[in-house]
């Protein structure tokens, strides 16, 4: 099979993320045992939030706002923050014109932005502010700036995270995810991309304030992650759990469908584990591996297609060759 090109990988990542979110919405918050007693195999209606089939959550809405901002403003966290505020008010990138779910930390941060707090100071910075609300929306940053140097890519990831989640642990999770996406986007196999991301993370996060956080990421930084049994993989809303579960699903699956159904059927924070894993699998496998019937069943499928194509074109236009010594 021909390897996907850049455009196919960008489109695969974006569609793959939003579709996986919608797969997870109907079973969000349900235990692993409950979900696996009636496992998700397709898009569903109703469920936890009583939403129509193909409905995405706040996860995708914030990812879409980020994509829209990067398309129009290059990289401007103030613009991102204002778009997030417009979303929470029901005015931008909702599936049906209303907001049916929003994380506590995200809602608090957006309230601070509305009160005039500088955007990159709005996110909670205490240790309890390490939910997965910035990780779930970071994919567009990784896609758009994959060709930047790893330190520059991490700086952008950290700044984007800080809008809602400013603690170094959340920033590190976003940074690691971006490192992994950047390698997948260049065609590395999942295990190779994971190994590269681990190496960069251990090197670039060895100084304060991040060095003290590395111990929390032992599982996802393990080169043996794929050998961990499912019972050792947590799928809560804690950012480290979400990152670890998503990467584990990627490393232990052979197709996009297998990856995202495995992620959602872990139970717990199903939509976010889904969107994070779906982004990875979509970038790796390309658009063709994201089932077309799932894409066509999504809320506002036409609007999504337009935004994603415009963003993929922008990513393609911004591509620059790697330094010769880094080529594979």
Average pLDDT over residues 274-295: 98
Contact assessment for residue 328 and residue 186, using Cβ atoms and an 8 Å cutoff: yes
The CA distance from 269 to 324, in Å, is 42
Q: CA triplet 257, 259, 264: central angle to 5 degrees?
A: 95
Q: CA triplet 117, 88, 137: central angle to 5 degrees?
A: 85
Buried b (16+ CB within 10 A) or exposed e, 45-60: eebbeebebbbbbbbb
Structural fold of domain 6-319: ADP-ribosylglycohydrolase fold (1.10.4080)
**Residue 13 pLDDT grade (very low, low, confident, very high; cuts 50, 70, 90):** very high
The two counts, helices (H) then strands (E), for the chain are 14, 0
The CA distance from 250 to 107, in Å, is 30
**Residue 320 pLDDT grade (very low, low, confident, very high; cuts 50, 70, 90):** low
Task: Express each pLDDT in 157-183 by its tens digit.
Answer: 999 999 999 999 999 999 999 999 999
Contact assessment for residue 284 and residue 250, using Cβ atoms and an 8 Å cutoff: yes
Dihedrals phi, psi of 174, to nearest 5 degrees: -65, -40
Q: Tokens in use for 211?
A: 């060095």
Contact assessment for residue 131 and residue 105, using Cβ atoms and an 8 Å cutoff: yes
**Residue 327 pLDDT grade (very low, low, confident, very high; cuts 50, 70, 90):** very low
What per-residue confidence (pLDDT) applies to 324?
47
- pTM, to two decimals: 0.95
Query: What residue spans define the domains of the chain?
Result: 6-319
What per-residue confidence (pLDDT) applies to 326?
45
Cis peptide before 209 (omega within 30 of 0): yes
The CA distance from 204 to 211, in Å, is 9
Burial of 108 by CB count in 10 Å (0-12 exposed, 13-18 middle, 19+ buried)?
A: middle
**Residue 209 pLDDT grade (very low, low, confident, very high; cuts 50, 70, 90):** very high
Highest mean pLDDT among 49-53, 131-135, 322-326: 131-135
Give the three-class secondary structure for 51: strand
């Amino acid at each position: 099979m021909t390897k996907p090109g850049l455009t196919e990988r960008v489109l695969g990542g974006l569609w793959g993320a939003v579709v996986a979110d919608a797969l997870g919405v109907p079973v969000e918050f349900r235990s692993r045992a409950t979900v696996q007693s009636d496992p998700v195999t397709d898009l569903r209606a109703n469920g936890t939030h009583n939403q129509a089939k193909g409905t995405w959550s706040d996860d995708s809405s914030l990812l879409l706002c980020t994509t829209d901002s990067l398309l129009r403003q290059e990289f401007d966290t103030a613009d991102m923050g204002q778009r997030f505020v417009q979303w929470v008010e029901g005015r931008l990138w909702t599936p049906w014109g209303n907001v049916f779910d929003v994380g506590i930390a995200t809602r608090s941060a957006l309230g601070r932005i509305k009160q005039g707090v500088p955007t990159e100071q709005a996110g909670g910075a205490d240790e309890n502010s390490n939910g997965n609300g910035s990780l779930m929306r970071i994919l567009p940053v990784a896609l758009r700036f994959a060709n930047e140097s790893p330190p520059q890519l991490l700086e952008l990831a950290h700044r984007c995270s800080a809008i809602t989640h400013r603690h170094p642990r959340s920033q590190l999770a976003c940074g690691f995810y971006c490192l992994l996406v950047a390698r997948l986007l260049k065609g590395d196999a999942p295990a190779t991309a994971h190994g590269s991301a681990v190496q960069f993370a251990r090197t670039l996060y060895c100084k304060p304030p991040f060095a003290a956080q590395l111990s929390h990421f032992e599982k996802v930084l393990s080169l043996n992650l794929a050998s961990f049994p499912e019972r050792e993989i947590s799928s809560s809303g804690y950012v480290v759990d979400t990152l670890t579960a998503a990467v584990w699903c990627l490393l232990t699956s052979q197709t996009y469908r297998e990856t995202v159904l495995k992620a959602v059927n872990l139970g717990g924070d199903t939509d976010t584990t889904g969107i994070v894993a779906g982004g990875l699998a979509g970038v790796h496998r390309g658009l063709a591996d994201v089932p077309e019937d799932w894409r066509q069943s999504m809320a506002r499928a036409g609007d999504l297609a337009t935004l994603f194509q415009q963003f993929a074109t922008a990513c393609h236009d911004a591509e620059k060759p790697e330094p010769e010594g880094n080529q594979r």
